[in-house]
Structure 1
Amino acid sequence: MNKWFKQLGLAAALLFSTVSFAAETPAPAAQPEAVVAAVQAQQSEYSQLWTELKNGATGYTTSQSQFHNQPINSYDLRVLELRSGWLAPGLMLALFGMIIIFALFIMVNGISKLHHGFSGKMVHRWSKLDISIHWLGAIPCLTLILTGLTLLAGRFFLQPVVSEGFWAGVVYFAKQVHNVMAIPFMFGWLLMTLMWAKNQMPKMYDLKWFLVVGGYINFGPFKGKHPDSGFANAGEKMWFWTFALFGLVISASGMLLLFPNLFEPSRTLSLISLILHAVSAIIICAFSIVHIFMATVMSEGGMECMVSGYCDENWATQHHNLWFDEIKANGTLKYRES
């Protein structure tokens, strides 16, 4: 074995012998200085050994597993405390907090209705390929949020009310589903980012959209304000680029965690990846709740876009007037046949 393992073993044996001897035989009163010197020398040796281990001293074993020759894993334990003490509650707050906020907002404000009702004329907006890509990313994303919440913070809201056996089964199931759904999520994220970026570029009129909160406020000076918007409004653009950026972080960190034998990251890099993964999950979770509420509840007629690929003409003119004017002008306006 390596000299450090030998020294560690000898130190342990010496400590055991010293304690046993001290318990059975009274120390001679005439030699206190010798005993103190011996203890100090032993402590100095331990301190030197610990320092060298922390600095990366390696040992030798017959194992061929990853990091088999690294006796200890040294990192700042505050990183683990950050994950369990802050990031886990943060993910819960991002999910449940945003749901509560939107529910209260809708109770007070109401939804954004079409001022002229439904026209019955359906305008083509998304292709079947676009719809497929959207759900390829959306369904795994929701599944990953729920399973990730269970793995990261389930001990706060689920473990206390179920048996240990049931909790172990839930964690195992969540982990397996999380690993499997990660791959289609990454494909969906990549395709959406590459194919949709051209329609998500910021424009000057996006600033006005933010100033009037997109026209979704039904009271005060904001009521009835519907700012100009192209194919995507400013809120959708903000969601898209947030998803693109943090989707990249969550995908890259996820690959390191999912395939450690392939990438062989260091333990420190693995820990950093775990933290970045959780932070990105919190941000994507919060924005996903906003996106879901805006598409399904807040905007009357909005959900139809990602179901059939068509939107009502009045919805198009109210929420995306510049895009509707553009497709009329360039001859690409297409109505759904009855």
Structure 2
Amino acid sequence: MIRILLGLILSLGLVLSAPVSAQDNSPNPPNDRTSTGGAQNLQDILDRQNQKRIDDQFRRDATGAEEGAPAIDQLGTLGGASDSDIWRAYRYGSADVRVSGGGDVAKTVMQSGGMWWLKFRATTLHTLMTYSIIGILVLLALFYLIRGKIRISGGKTGRKVIRFKAVERLGHWTLAISFILLALTGLFTLFGRQIILPLLGREAFSTMAIAAKWIHNNVAWAFIIGLVMIFVFWVKDNFPDKTDIKWIAQGGGIFNKNLHPPAKKFNAGQKVIFWSVVIFGTSVSVTGVSLLFPFQIPLFGHTFEILNAMGLPQLVGFGELNTALTPQEDMQFAHVWHALLAGLLIVIVIAHIYIGSVGMEGAFSAVGTGEVEEQWAREHHSLWVEQVLAEERAAPKDAQEV
């Protein structure tokens, strides 16, 4: 899972740093700008439209000169710098900006690199989130129509086995409820302007947006607490072992009503969900805290330095990632990474909710009452229930009565 997370970070850097650093690394022939007196020409415009890397040093350096026409008075000349020169210096960060407070963040007067983030959020992110959520819902509906509800195939015994203690269920529901609230408010923030605003109007949307922001920012702490709780309670039972190989080879018995591969307390599918929630949830939490405290916890400049040092971007032919990120750019990367992983978690959790409710008979009681039907346990977690029953039989009678 660590490799997957690292690969996702690398992919994000490679894809999203392209507009900031280099979209196309193919070498371009030298561009002769003598006909325009050193200014940009048609070839520069075409190269930018084709997302090619251009040498814009000629523009970066064109920020005026101290020598030139002298400034006479307020109505006279600007000396050696024109308005376009000044704004160009702002754009490329070469202007001598002085602020009384706010540090480097306040010194960024113009950040044209943020346009890629705005476009990505308004188009690509919307598309990915929409198709992912609709896609998983359609797949689950089709699976239910074809397979139906996974029933307890053997005769019910009427005996109950304790699966999760009260404190374990508290951790699960703290995480689950907080995640649902975060997912709903996050989706509202992403799609609200396009869907809710036209339907309810500006005033109603404004009230809902303020409430969604407050819920999202504060419920996040409950999510982090729940994440820590379930990790502490269940990590020891979620390490992969050889029984998972057989479970995966038999498809978990999902497609065969009479097949029940052996499993311990958690089967291979549950382990995948557990580690996905732990790893992706941790990453979402870290970027979320970074967004809660803007510009205080920069993450991606240092992350890209590590990837460059490991040689991963160079290995796939992208060259070194841009590490000289402005505070605004670092926040934009944090937002995109936060949203992408949150979307992935939403898809995973939707599948988890399905199998734990309408998809499988007897599954919900495990986190509902904490007890499961013994036959359900034998069919889905046979190795675990055998161990539990053996421990009960070996326990002193006095302890069993207590």
TM-score over 0.5 (shorter chain):
yes
Determine if contact 1:296/1:302 at 8 Å carries over to the other structure.
yes
Partner amino acid, structure 2, of 1:284: L
Tell me the residue number matched to 1:99: 137
Q: Does 1:280 align with 2:341?
A: yes
- CA deviation vs aligned residue, 1:136-173 (integer Å, no higher than 9, x gap): 11100001011100001223433332212222222221
- CA deviation vs aligned residue, 1:236-256 (integer Å, no higher than 9, x gap): 000001001110110000001
Aligned identity (percent) is 26
Tell me the residue number matched to 2:386: 325
Tell me the residue number matched to 2:198: 160
In 2, Cα distance between equivalents of 1:320 and 1:312 = 11
Alignment of 1:89-168 (within 5 A): 89-168=127-206
In 2, Cα distance between equivalents of 1:264 and 1:242 = 24
Tell me the residue number matched to 1:196: 234
When the two structures are aligned, how many residues end up with a matched partner? 300
**Against the structure 1 CA distance between its residues 279 and 211, is the aligned structure 2 distance closer, same or farther, given a 3 Å change threshold?**
same
Q: CA deviation at 1:215?
A: 1.2
TM-score (norm 2): 0.67
1:213 to 251, 264, 281: 251
In 1, Cα distance between equivalents of 2:139 and 2:132 = 10
In 2, Cα distance between equivalents of 1:74 and 1:96 = 34
- Please state which structure has a larger fraction of its residues in helix: 1
Where do 5+ consecutive residues of structure 1 fail to align?
Answer: 8-12, 19-37
Q: Which moved more, 1:161-170 or 1:315-324?
A: 161-170
In 2, Cα distance between equivalents of 1:261 and 1:84 = 23
1:77 to 115, 138, 144: 115
Where do 5+ consecutive residues of structure 2 fail to align?
Answer: 1-62, 66-70, 300-326
**Against the structure 1 CA distance between its residues 156 and 204, is the aligned structure 2 distance closer, same or farther, given a 3 Å change threshold?**
farther
1:246 to 276, 280, 289: 280
Partner amino acid, structure 1, of 2:277: F
**Against the structure 1 CA distance between its residues 258 and 301, is the aligned structure 2 distance closer, same or farther, given a 3 Å change threshold?**
same
Determine if contact 1:92/1:153 at 8 Å carries over to the other structure.
no
**Against the structure 1 CA distance between its residues 135 and 56, is the aligned structure 2 distance closer, same or farther, given a 3 Å change threshold?**
farther
**Against the structure 1 CA distance between its residues 72 and 126, is the aligned structure 2 distance closer, same or farther, given a 3 Å change threshold?**
same
**Against the structure 1 CA distance between its residues 304 and 223, is the aligned structure 2 distance closer, same or farther, given a 3 Å change threshold?**
closer
2:258 to 224, 240, 246: 224
In 2, Cα distance between equivalents of 1:65 and 1:332 = 68
Partner amino acid, structure 2, of 1:94: S
In 2, Cα distance between equivalents of 1:225 and 1:156 = 47
Which structure has the larger Rg over C-alpha atoms? 1
1:306 to 356, 359, 367: 367
Q: Does 1:255 align with 2:293?
A: no
Aligned CA RMSD, in angstroms, stands at 3.2
- CA deviation vs aligned residue, 1:199-256 (integer Å, no higher than 9, x gap): 1111222123223321122xxxx34221111100111000001001110110000001
